[in-house]
Amino acid sequence: MTFVGKILVVVIMVFALFFLAVSTVVFSTAKNWKDETTKLTKNISDLNLKVKAANDEAALRKNELETAQADFKKSTDALEAQIKTTNQTLTDRQKELTEQRTIVETAQETTRTALAQAEARTKETELLHNQLLAVTKQSDEYKIRQNELNDQIRIQQRQLETAKKNNDDLKERVLLLSSVIRENGLSDNIQTIKGVSTPPDVEGEVTRTDPRNQRVEISIGSDDGLVVGHVLQVFRTKPSPAYIGQIRIDSVEPDQAVGKVIGNTRHGIKIEEGDIVAPKIRPRS
């Protein structure tokens, strides 16, 4: 046998085995499907029997339910009729009770009103009697008080005449003092005078002096509470602490003021720019 013949024999054997396997699979598959179909058919029959039995049972239970519902409706209708009758009876009894209660309350209210009126008349009589006694007593007291007041009026009239005379004297003195104060270049405003007696607790510096060292300009003014007439102390801390003297403010602006040196400075020390001004000398650390 040639080589080609051998190959053909092998190929034929392979195809034979393949077709054998395919035939076996087809046969097994057909047999299995047939068995499964038989089982399913039997199961369907069993299920149909069960469904029929369940339907019969459901129909029976439905009839029983309808019968029970009908009985329940009859019982419910009977109870509703009984409840309606009872409610009507109760409503009638409550209406009768309300009417009786209203009659009783009206009678009680009439009785209370009559009693209250009687008590009020009694109290009113007692009150009028007491008021009459009080008015009589008060009238006597008023007469005594009127005599006392007349005496006090006469005394106060004499005091008023004296006070008017004193007031006229004080006015003349105030006018005279105001003219003297203004002649000396000071303000006669009472608020300014009060402010002069209590300088504000502020501190500033000398910003400029005149050539004669008699007038100085400082860095604080009316915004800091200064008014014309305030007396401030002048001192310095550098290079060594030293007290210089006093100045009296004679011109004030919001942020600065001008003061005049009072008398002579201590030891003839000249006031310089940068010196400190304050109502009192402050200790320095």
Please identify which residue in the block is written with the tokens 């007290």.
243
**Mean of pLDDT values over 146-160:** 85
Looking at CATH, the fold of the domain delimited by 199-278 is given as Thrombin, subunit H (2.40.10)
Encode pLDDT of 42-85 as tens digits: 877 887 888 788 778 878 888 888 888 888 888 888 888 888 88
Extract the runs of DSSP E, i.e. beta strands, from the chain.
204-209, 215-218, 231-236, 242-252, 257-261, 276-278
Phi, psi of 281, deg, nearest 5: -70, 130
How far apart CA 122 and CA 207 sit, in angstroms, is 92
pLDDT tens track for 113-124: 888 888 888 888
pLDDT at 227: 92
In whole angstroms, give the CA distance from residue 61 to residue 246.
125
Tell me the torsion sign for CA atoms 82, 84, 85, 86: positive
Give residue 210's pLDDT. 94
Longest alpha-carbon distance in the chain: 178
- Percent of the chain with pLDDT strictly greater than 90: 24
pTM greater than 0.75: no
- Each domain of the chain, given as residue ranges in start order, spans 41-154, 199-278
Using 50, 70 and 90 to split pLDDT, how confident is the model at 274? very high
User: Do 241 and 235 touch, CB atoms closer than 8 A?
Assistant: yes
Over residues 166-212, the pLDDT tens digits come to: 877 777 777 777 676 666 655 555 555 555 567 788 999 999 999 99
Q: Is the pLDDT of residue 240 over 60?
A: yes
